Amino acid sequence: DKEEADKNAEQEIQGNDYKKTTVTESKAYDGEDASFTNCTIDFASQKDSVLKMANGTLGVFGSTVKSYGYDAVVSDNGRANVENSTVSASEANTLNIDSTSKVTLKDSTIKSDGKITTMFGAVVKGGTLELDKSTIATSKFSSVSLLGGSTFEMSNGSKLEVTDKGVTPIVIAGNEVSKGEVDDTNTNSTNINIDESTISTNKAPLLQLTDCVADVVISNSDITCDSVFDNVSNGVKQSKGSTLNITLKNQELTGDITPDYNTKVNLNIGSGSSYKGAIDVDSRQVVNVKLATDAKLTLTNTSYVDALELEDTAFNNLDLAGNILYYNMNNPLNDFLQGETHTLGSGELVPYGGPQ
């Protein structure tokens, strides 16, 4: 009849290219490209991904992808470009990206719809995830899980939104976490670049690290978090420890930095930037702070640093706000302080013997 003919006319399928089509089955490709334009892809399975690309390029444009039991989009040694689309999963990771893959999101939303317990918005297992004016919205689990060697970039108004209390948006591990332990064989650095973006948490740290090395650069962004970095949680214990290198460029950042005994933090407060919070209040580990001439450090509690590198040695950009900042008198980088106590307003720079 005419209605059926009109429906068929709207659906255009040419090989692996789908347009204006409703898809209700899993689609997997290996060694060939595929694209979905203005499509609805709706699939429920406990065994199969909705879309899986291996050794090729997957395009999702102006479409909606829904998964109810398994990962929505999997990239295995492939590339996926998602534009003007929404991808969601209710019982699995929404994106699953292996070590040789790259997924780019533009003007798109990745979300968990919260019908049942949800997993990560995206799991990146050493590959690359780029957000361009895109959003990852989750509730019970983190926005992004990054394993060693991964690259995560967000820019141009992108957002990470976590609604549930105490959920960290970005978690980083050296490798897979299983039964509270981390496979520490992967020591590759994870790289994170956040520019002109927004991250909001509900009384949770911005970052959580487990047995990994992470290089994080934040610039021109709106970050709302309870703390910048806190101890690992959820029963996961570090065996090798972590190193967090965090650089601020034209960026304001507020929140405590509280590393555990196995974590080293290097905080570089670059030009035009400011940091406000407490640093290593329990003197647990090594925290090094570098402060540019036109940057500012404001303390909210007693803090400890192993190295304090100041371009302005007249302390004009240090606001201790009545607190004590302890520095390691045995670190050569602090020799300019001459092992003495320096009174700065109502606060003090005080020498101590270094982290134990």
pLDDT tens readout for residues 41-57:
988 776 788 899 899 99
Instruction: List the single range of 64-73, 227-236, 241-250, 272-281 with lowest mean pLDDT.
Output: 227-236
CB distance 110 to 132 below 8 Å:
no
Arithmetic mean of pLDDT, 4-24: 75
Query: What is the percent of the chain with per-residue pLDDT over 90, rounded to a whole number?
Result: 60
pTM beyond 0.85:
yes
Q: Using CA atoms, how far apart are residues 9 and 4, in angstroms rounded to an integer?
A: 9
pLDDT tens readout for residues 110-132:
987 655 555 788 999 999 999 99
Contacts of 116 (CB under 8 A, 6+ apart): 90, 91
CA neighbor of 209 nearest in space, from 256, 172, 263, 264: 172
Comparison of pLDDT for 66 and 292, the residue scoring more: 292
Q: Using CA atoms, how far apart are residues 69 and 222, in angstroms rounded to an integer?
A: 34
Q: What is the CA radius of gyration of the chain?
A: 23
Strands lying side by side in the sheet with 73-76: 27-30, 51-54, 73-76, 95-97, 122-124, 144-147, 170-173, 205-210, 227-229, 256-257
